Amino acid sequence: MIVPFGQRLAAAVAERGPLCVGIDPHRELLLDWGVGDDVDGLRRFTDAVVDALAGSVAVLKPQLAFYERFGSRGLAVLEDAVVRAHEAGALVLLDAKRGDIGSTMAAYADYLRSDHPMQVDAMTVSPYLGPESLRPAVSTATRFGGGLFVLARTSNPDAGAFQHAVLSDGARQRSVAQVVVDTVRGWNAADGFVGDPPTALAPSVDARSGWGPSTGSFGVVVGATLDALDVDLDGLGGPVLAPGLGAQGGSVSDLRRLFGAGTAVVATVSRDVLGAGPDPAALRTAAARWAEALAT
């Protein structure tokens, strides 16, 4: 029996807390660690992070671009890391931000297939070719128990240039970001529905709940650095991935201010944890500090 990603994520959060640590081996960080900006350095960095954190953190989020820049050898490093992260009990969220149409989107979504050599639990996707463009990813995720996090209201400073644009649908007006959230709400409510959500949530989705058995497998990305929450997340039915904590200026108090207690939030930290390396104990201490802050 395939356990859907939303249920696996809820279980991982219950056991380990809602912390997600990004694995972002960019050139400057590899050099700061003293491991070298090459494939060997990439492997040493990745092994250290996985070995230190995969046994205690709920989610690890490798950024695919930092592995792709080393070609096939870089992807081989990531493939090995995904296997070892799973063996240690962590879920793997591939930060790929893929978005395309038809067979191309289906190929990107293959990372969620059980027969893929680097199967991950979930991946980030971009919706800006339209809701229908993501149908292959939704279908693959549903079939193989994977998850998607869709870019909705991101934390980069000029995101509002697109995400605040207003779309009219008869008498109703919604921002692009809100249309994205509403679309994902529909997926969770109708088991793969793509487009505008139905008027009422399906009985299996409890619009009032955060984490729990009813947590959906489809979530949205909403930055923790927003001045105010300008999208309606009520009844989303799935998790919110909240990047921007730490070096980008977001805090645990910002999460509480923006999302309150009833939203299933996965809090993402990267540089504030990775900067503690390469010492494994220091990495664990940095992650534990964030985990403790999120738990209080």
Which sign, positive or negative, has the C-alpha torsion 117, 123, 128, 130? positive
Q: Say how far residue 197 (Cα) sits from the centre of its chain.
A: 22
Instruction: For residues 291 and 277, give the distance between their C-alpha atoms in angstroms, rounded to a whole number.
Output: 17
Instruction: For residues 75 and 5, give the distance between their C-alpha atoms in angstroms, rounded to a whole number.
Output: 23
DSSP state letters, 65-89: HHHHTTHHHHHHHHHHHHHHHHHTT
Q: Do residues 245 and 267 touch, judged by C-beta distance below 8 A?
A: yes
Residue type, 95: D
Out of 8, 44, 61, 97, the active site residue is: 97
97 catalytic? Reply is yes
Return the half-sphere exposure (C-beta side, CA atoms, 13 A cut-off) of residue 109.
Answer: 27
Q: Do residues 110 and 116 touch, judged by C-beta distance below 8 A?
A: yes
59 strand-pairing partners: 20, 91
Place of tokens 């509403």: 182
Active-site amino acid positions: 97
